[in-house]
Amino acid sequence: MIIMDFIRIIRSFTKKLSDDYVGPFAAQAAYYIFISFIPFVIFFMALLKYIPVSVEELFSVVKLMFPETITGLLSSLANQIIDSSSGAVISVSIVTALWMASKSFYAIVKGLRGIYKKKQKNYIISRLFGLLYTVVFAVVLIAIMIVYVFGNWIYHFSIDKFPILENLSALVLSFRLVIGLAVLTLVFAIMYKFCAGQKSSLLKSIPGAVISAIGWIVISYAYS
């Protein structure tokens, strides 16, 4: 009986996914996120010359996440971009990355509103909303990545410059996984509430946001 109930739940769930075209919307979002990854990498590498971290130090961490052939290619590309990077390279790459990534969030917004049977917003408004959310999401991800990758360096820098913050810095460093999870949960909850056009409270979006945040972190760790 329990097995049959479980099978019925799975069938109902998969039918709901199919009826709401979750697969096509997810594929569209993933496609534009992947396309935006290339200019984003160029933008990030161009910024390396302005931060107190060498390419060797950065790629000592990157080697833990990518195969040696890919890290070698990225390292060579980083050195070339740093040597020849200019304001034009940074400007073009960030605009391209934001534009392509905003198309992925536009697909997510359309998908969420379609699931909840809400009328689609004006195209221009939806694209502007997608662009805004892309900027916010990119800032959050970069901040989390900086804390994870350069956490120890930030800790030593902060206690060297501001000794009074030693305990606070140690606390943040110890709970950076929890803090990252909380921040991602908040971002997803806001997206679910406002992108889907729901009038319910933000708290009702928390369960799904928590699952999304945990899934994001688990998949990231599994990939790395």
17 and 108 fall within a common domain? yes
The predicted structure's pLDDT at residue 81: 66
Domain-embedded: residue 189 = yes
> What parts of the chain have a pLDDT lower than 50?
none
The predicted structure's pLDDT at residue 84: 62
- Look up residue 138 and give its DSSP letter: H
- Asked if 112 and 76 touch (Cβ cutoff 8 Å), the reply is no
Domain-embedded: residue 219 = yes
103 and 156 fall within a common domain? no
The predicted structure's pLDDT at residue 218: 77
The predicted structure's pLDDT at residue 70: 64
Domain-embedded: residue 132 = no
Which residue in this structure is represented by tokens 């369960």? 207
Domain-embedded: residue 159 = yes
108 and 171 fall within a common domain? no
Extended strands (E) in the chain: none
The predicted structure's pLDDT at residue 193: 76
Last residue of a domain, one of 65, 100, 117: 117
90-127 confidence digits (pLDDT tens)? 677 777 777 777 777 777 777 777 777 777 667 777 77
The predicted structure's pLDDT at residue 198: 66
4 and 85 fall within a common domain? yes
Neighbouring C-beta atoms of residue 8, cutoff 10 Å: 10
60 and 166 fall within a common domain? no
The predicted structure's pLDDT at residue 129: 76
The predicted structure's pLDDT at residue 55: 62
The predicted structure's pLDDT at residue 159: 75
The predicted structure's pLDDT at residue 27: 78
Q: Which residues in 117-155 are b (16+ Cβ under 10 Å) and which e? A: eeeebeeeebbebbbebbeebbeebeebeebebbeeebb
Domain-embedded: residue 130 = no
Residue span of the structural domain in which 177 resides: 150-224
80 and 4 fall within a common domain? yes
Domain-embedded: residue 182 = yes
Last residue of a domain, one of 72, 93, 117: 117
Last residue of a domain, one of 117, 136, 164: 117
User: Is the model's pTM score more than 0.85?
Assistant: no
Determine the Cα–Cα distance for residues 70 and 105; give it in Å rounded to an integer: 28
79 and 13 fall within a common domain? yes
The total number of structural domains that make up the chain = 2
DSSP-assigned letters across all residues of 164-192:
GGHHHHHHHHHTHHHHHHHHHHHHHHHHH
The predicted structure's pLDDT at residue 48: 66
